[in-house]
């Protein structure tokens, strides 16, 4: 789109039509003490050549994960991405596609969504999946809302071993709807305990939420928590922040989960400063009508030829607002397609091999560090340090290493502890450098 500046006469005409004398008058409704005053801290306008040089200087200050050993996970992971992924998703018909309302012209996009849904069902071992959500955190929030609709109750019990940002998003979605989120204090043990969750369950509890592997990298006892949920007649929601774990661990569907949500960034999507990512959402067929978002189905035309259509779209653009399950309006189609292509290229064996390599690398690092917990794990762990994690991270950065996550940011009682993540890209030399720098 071309940039065409307005002339002074055009601005005057627009202000006159709006009935104000100056541009500042357009913002009169904003309290004066909250309006920014002065000039933005930006350089003066530049010509193209110096501007490009300036931007390159700024870019050189970054330390991308592809050029440095990185041990930072906590919800975003540095996995290998086959070169073919970017080449395939760069086709213009994928870049320009939008919501495929018209099946007669959108068969390719609809089939891609259908394949993505099929992958999600297979990874989670669940019965139906939707056409993707914004990200894992918003998928969890939608799962909490869905559970309350399904059970017609107003409380959610959530372990505080669930990712802190995911819990914040869930709280933002639910707090103005009269839904109560009750958090356990399981972080002390590093893993959710059925007994502590049970103490929070009341007659108004709709669901129990846990994450596995949880924020500390520990694998939850999904069997025990699932049995608790069935005994208490509440829904069982499982969140998966590290999708690569699904190539190594038993899927949540094996333990009777009613709703499973996840983040698909590990499936061929670069970390990209936190997004865009793609949410994963699956449930049991009996809960299908309460599932948010859209679902693509496979059918046949009048001649018996297979085709794809949107079969479920219970959002307020399509049905009455009071009947809508959600106002979510994006299926993150390009990210979902990226993940589907990644899984296709990796294959069942390749995906499992990648996940095993993550675990083996984590086991090696765990053996050489001082892990805080003794629970089963996948590719992350909390380790004990002899000084604050922030100080250790500064030292690592000086040596060109991206350190781990300072868990005391979210759990103030966990001082001198760092969450470290490894993937199939982590080498023994990377670990040697980390351990030497940390002094563990």
* Whether pLDDT at 14 is above 50: yes
CA distance 424 to 421: 11
pLDDT at 43: 86
CA distance 379 to 26: 53
pLDDT at 358: 98
* Whether pLDDT at 176 is above 70: yes
CB burial of residue 108 (10 Å; 0-12, 13-18, 19+): middle
* Whether pLDDT at 199 is above 90: yes
DSSP structural state of residue 211: E
CA distance 223 to 282: 19
CA distance 376 to 354: 18
Q: Order across the sheet with 205-211: list the strands.
A: 128-129, 279-283, 259-263, 235-240, 205-211, 155-158, 180-183
Q: Which of 107, 134, 143, 64 has the alpha carbon at shortest distance from 334?
A: 134
pTM over 0.85: yes
* Whether pLDDT at 114 is above 60: yes
CA distance 392 to 52: 35
pLDDT at 79: 97
Supply the angle between the helices 333-368 and 107-124 in degrees, to the nearest 10.
30
* Whether pLDDT at 282 is above 80: yes
């Amino acid at each position: 789109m071309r940039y065409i500046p307005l002339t002074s006469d055009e601005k005057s005409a627009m202000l006159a039509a709006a009935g104000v004398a100056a541009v500042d008058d357009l913002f009169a409704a904003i309290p004066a003490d909250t309006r920014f005053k002065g000039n933005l801290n930006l350089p003066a306008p530049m010509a193209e050549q110096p501007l490009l040089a300036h931007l390159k200087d700024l870019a050189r200050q970054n330390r991308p994960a592809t050029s440095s050993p990185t041990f930072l996970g906590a919800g975003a992971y540095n996995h290998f991405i086959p070169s073919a992924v970017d080449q395939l998703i760069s086709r213009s018909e994928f870049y320009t596609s939008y919501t495929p309302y018209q099946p007669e012209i959108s068969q390719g996009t609809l089939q891609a969504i259908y394949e993505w849904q099929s992958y999600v069902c297979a990874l989670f071992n669940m019965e139906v999946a939707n056409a993707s959500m914004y990200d894992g955190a918003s998928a969890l929030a939608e799962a909490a809302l869905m559970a309350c609709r399904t059970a017609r109750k107003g409380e959610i019990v959530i372990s505080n071993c669930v990712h802190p940002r995911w819990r914040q998003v869930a709280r933002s979605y639910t707090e103005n709807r009269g839904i109560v989120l009750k958090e356990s204090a399981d972080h002390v043990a590093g893993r959710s305990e059925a007994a502590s969750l049970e103490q929070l369950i009341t007659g108004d509890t709709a669901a129990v939420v846990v994450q596995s592997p949880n924020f500390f990298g520990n694998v939850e006892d999904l069997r025990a928590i699932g049995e608790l949920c069935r005994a208490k007649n509440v829904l069982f929601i499982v969140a998966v922040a590290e999708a690569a774990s699904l190539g190594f661990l038993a899927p949540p569907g094996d333990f009777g989960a009613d709703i499973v949500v996840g983040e698909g960034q590990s499936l061929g999507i670069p970390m990209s400063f936190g997004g865009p990512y793609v949410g994963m959402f699956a449930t049991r067929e009996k809960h299908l009508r309460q599932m948010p978002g859209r679902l693509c189905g496979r059918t046949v035309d009048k001649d018996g030829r297979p085709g794809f259509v949107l079969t479920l779209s219970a959002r307020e653009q399509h049905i009455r607002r009071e009947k809508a399950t959600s106002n979510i309006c994006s299926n993150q189609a390009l990210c979902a397609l990226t993940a589907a292509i990644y899984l296709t290229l990796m294959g069942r064996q390749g995906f499992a091999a990648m996940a095993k390599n993550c675990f083996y690398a984590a086991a090696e690092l765990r053996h050489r560090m001082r892990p805080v917990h003794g629970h089963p794990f996948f590719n992350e762990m909390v380790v004990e340090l002899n000084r604050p994690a922030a100080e250790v991270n500064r030292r690592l950065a000086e040596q060109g290493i991206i350190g781990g996550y300072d868990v005391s940011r979210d759990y103030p009682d966990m001082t001198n502890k760092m969450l470290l993540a490894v993937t199939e890209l982590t080498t023994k030399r990377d670990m040697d450098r980390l351990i030497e720098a940390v002094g563990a």
